[in-house]
Every structure is written in C-alpha cells, then in structure tokens.
C-alpha cells in the first residue's frame, strides 16, 4: 500500500490563511504530470471539490488532495510552504526524485 505524502503544519496554516478570505473553502491539489525540463512536473492548484477517488489529507481544518495516478510519484514526499526572498510558495520535497530543476517544479525519477 502506498503512503500519501506528509503535509507540514506550515502548509496547512498557509492554506487556512488563503481560505480565510475565500468565498468558499478550497483544497490544495498536488498532482504530478509528464513534462517540464526534467520529465515530470508538479501541478499545485486550489480546487473547491474533490474527485471521488482522491486521497484526502486533512489537518487544521484544511484539505490536500492527491489523485491516485500521482500517488506513486509522491510516496514519502513532504508538501510544505516556504517564504523566502525569492518568493512564497508551496513546495514538494520528494525523496523519490533523482534530479530536479532549479525552479523546483520539474523533476525526474
């Protein structure tokens, strides 16, 4: 059985901040798609509804959604939120990635 990624308290806290000003609460979808400069890329977006087969990770009253196709690529990964000089963003720390692009969105396995 594949284990879903971990989601940090910082990521849930930032999602709660985003939802505090939203008309309807949204979940953070973390998906993996083919493409990018290293073969795969993360797609992170906010969605109002979950799909019937989504894996739902809950914390601090917030939800993170992972589709079953992306799950094998995200096993043992960590979804975090970082606020640095280059900008604030959700990031995926993935021990399965053998290489990644400088942008942090594209990776290979």
- Mean pLDDT for the stretch of residues 48-62: 96
pTM, entire model: 0.86
- The mean of the pLDDT values for the chain is 87
Residue 86 pLDDT class (50, 70, 90 cuts): confident
- Domain architecture of the chain: domains with CATH: 6-108 (2.60.300.12)
Distance between CA atoms of residues 35 and 25, nearest Å:
30
CB 55 within 8 A of CB 10: no
Higher-pLDDT residue of 100, 26: 26
Would you say how long the chain is, in residues? 109
Distance of alpha carbon 75 from alpha carbon 32, whole angstroms: 12
User: What's the average model confidence in pLDDT over 7-26?
Assistant: 95
Instruction: Return the bridge partners of 66, or none.
Output: 55
């Amino acid at each position: 059985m594949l284990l879903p990624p971990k989601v940090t308290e910082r990521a849930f806290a930032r999602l709660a901040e985003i939802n505090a000003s939203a008309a309807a609460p949204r979940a953070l979808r973390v998906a993996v798609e083919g493409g990018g400069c290293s073969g795969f890329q993360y797609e992170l977006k906010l969605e109002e509804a979950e799909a019937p087969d989504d894996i739902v990770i809950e914390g601090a009253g917030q939800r993170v959604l992972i589709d079953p196709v992306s799950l094998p690529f995200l096993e043992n990964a960590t979804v975090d939120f970082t606020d640095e000089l280059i900008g604030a963003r959700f990031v995926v720390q993935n021990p399965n990635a053998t290489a990644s692009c400088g942008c942090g969105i594209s990776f290979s396995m």
